[in-house]
């Protein structure tokens, strides 16, 4: 055991280490709160000056994280900054930056690489660097390792490198950062020991694996499992609909089997920062090994076709009411990617809105969690959420239920909407003005 390893493990165990978190979004912010809550000094780094200013004034910009919690963290020593030089103060540097896909569905590693390049001059002996961003197997070794060692530091001796995939589920009241087991892989056995010491005080259960590649593959398997099964049930939905069978009734019935079945429910497509994106990281990397990941790509095709399927059902419903989609007024209910959160990343609702608008309809939305349509990298709508009332609902030719927030009054919607296209199985009883999609 090197002197640096021994000292760092001791610092982490005694809560004398400074925890640096780079990227203060849906992953980084809960992690900051957890380390702050158990007595560590936490330094947050983000490139967005607006976010940094908001946090330093004690305000949260994520709905399910209260400003009270942020203000408490500020009061007990947390500080946010845009100054990358200050990572030299940190003993642990945890990277929580985005890893999106480009327009060719290939990994866009620019956020990770640019962040590491910005950190490089300020890394020092006795630090542990942990990447939490979802990525393809080999990223930590191929992209981080050479950059971390560029200035003479030796990974596994004077500095330590681990990969530990985030497992956040925004808005899920059943789990929090502390209670979700944490997978950790180190570049060397010494790195793994330091990584385990980093996460053990904050997380109830740490799961060590043999390498950073194994940890990277673990994260992908978790999300590919979900994507493939959602693709399967979405395909089953289309088959069941043609046969006049309610797929939601079928899934509920199958879920009573106490073994060998896990219920997945169909929807309007995949959303969020993981499930629509992560499988394609493995697809891309597998090509390097001459492999074609057919299951992943097929499920991707099925899931990506769901917004068009929903719009097709909307057109059918309007036709039955002697109306064309072109010129109609359509209200999309719920534009966050999942219920009861304000998270818009990769939301299929937005694609549904774009498809409706492209076909000549006037599109609006209602979402109690997203009062103003946010600025997004690839989507532009200058809209505010419509408040639901008998009058507002009846003014639209159709409503599309895309995200089934608990705060929606579904009885009010049912009574006053002229046509409902239900992509979430909310309305189980048949009605002339309700179409299941």
Enumerate the β-bridge partners of residue 330: 363, 398
By three-state DSSP, how is residue 233 classified? helix
Inter-residue contact 151 to 176 (CB < 8 Å)? no
SS3 294: helix
Q: What is the DSSP string of 92-107?
A: EEEE-----B-TTS-B
* φ/ψ bin of 397: left (φ > 0), alpha (ψ from -120 to 50), beta (otherwise): alpha
Give the Cα separation of 218 and 183 in Å (integer): 8
User: Closest by alpha carbon to 69, among 361, 78, 257?
Assistant: 78
Q: If DSSP codes are grouped into helix, strand and coil, which group holds residue 365? A: strand
What is the rounded CA–CA span in Å between residue 365 and residue 400? 9
List the structure tokens of 142: 């191929």
Rounded Cα gap, residues 314 and 320, in angstroms: 10
Q: Which of 24, 29, 153, 274 is catalytic?
A: 274
Residue 96 catalytic? no
Rounded Cα–Cα distance for residues 26 and 40 (Å): 20
Catalytic residues: 274
């Amino acid at each position: 055991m090197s002197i640096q390893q021994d000292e760092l493990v001791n610092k982490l165990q005694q809560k004398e280490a400074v925890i640096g978190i780079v990227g203060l979004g849906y992953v980084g912010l809960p992690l900051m709160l957890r380390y702050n809550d158990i007595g560590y000094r936490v330094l947050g780094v983000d490139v967005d000056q607006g976010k940094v200013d908001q946090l330093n004034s004690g305000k949260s910009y994520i709905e399910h994280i209260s400003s009270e919690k942020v203000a408490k963290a500020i009061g007990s020593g947390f500080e946010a900054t845009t100054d990358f030089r200050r990572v030299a103060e940190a003993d642990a540097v945890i990277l929580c930056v985005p890893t999106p896909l480009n327009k060719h569905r290939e990994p866009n590693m620019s956020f990770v690489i640019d962040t590491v390049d910005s950190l490089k001059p300020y890394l020092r002996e006795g630090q542990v660097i942990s990447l939490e961003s979802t990525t393809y197997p080999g990223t930590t070794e191929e992209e981080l390792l050479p950059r971390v060692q560029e200035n003479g530091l030796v990974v596994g001796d004077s500095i330590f490198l681990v990969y530990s995939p985030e497992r956040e589920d925004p808005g899920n009241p059943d789990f929090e950062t502390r209670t979700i087991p944490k997978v950790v892989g180190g570049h060397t056995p010494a790195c793994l020991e330091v990584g385990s010491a980093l996460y053990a005080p904050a997380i109830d259960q740490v799961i060590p694996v043999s390498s950073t590649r194994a940890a990277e593959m673990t994260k992908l398997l978790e999300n590919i499992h979900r994507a493939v099964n959602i693709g399967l049930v979405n395909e089953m939905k289309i088959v069941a609909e043609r046969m006049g069978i309610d797929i939601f009734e079928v899934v509920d019935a199958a879920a009573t089997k106490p073994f060998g079945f896990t219920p997945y429910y169909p929807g309007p497509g995949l959303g969020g920062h993981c499930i629509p994106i992560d499988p394609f990281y493995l697809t891309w990397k597998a090509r390097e090994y001459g492999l074609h990941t057919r299951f992943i790509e097929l499920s991707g095709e099925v899931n990506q076709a769901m917004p068009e399927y929903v719009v097709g059902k909307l057109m059918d419903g309007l036709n039955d009411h002697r109306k064309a989609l072109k010129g109609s007024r359509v209200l999309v209910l719920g534009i966050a990617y999942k219920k009861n959160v304000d998270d818009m990343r990769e939301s299929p609702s937005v694609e549904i809105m774009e498809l409706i608008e492209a076909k000549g309809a006037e599109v609006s939305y209602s979402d109690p969690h997203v009062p103003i349509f946010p600025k997004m990298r690839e989507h532009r709508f200058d809209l505010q959420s419509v408040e639901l009332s008998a009058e507002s609902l009846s003014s639209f030719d159709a409503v599309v239920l895309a995200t089934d927030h608990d705060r929606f009054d579904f009885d009010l919607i049912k009574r006053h909407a002229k046509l409902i296209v239900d992509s979430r199985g909310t309305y189980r009883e048949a009605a002339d003005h309700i179409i299941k999609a």
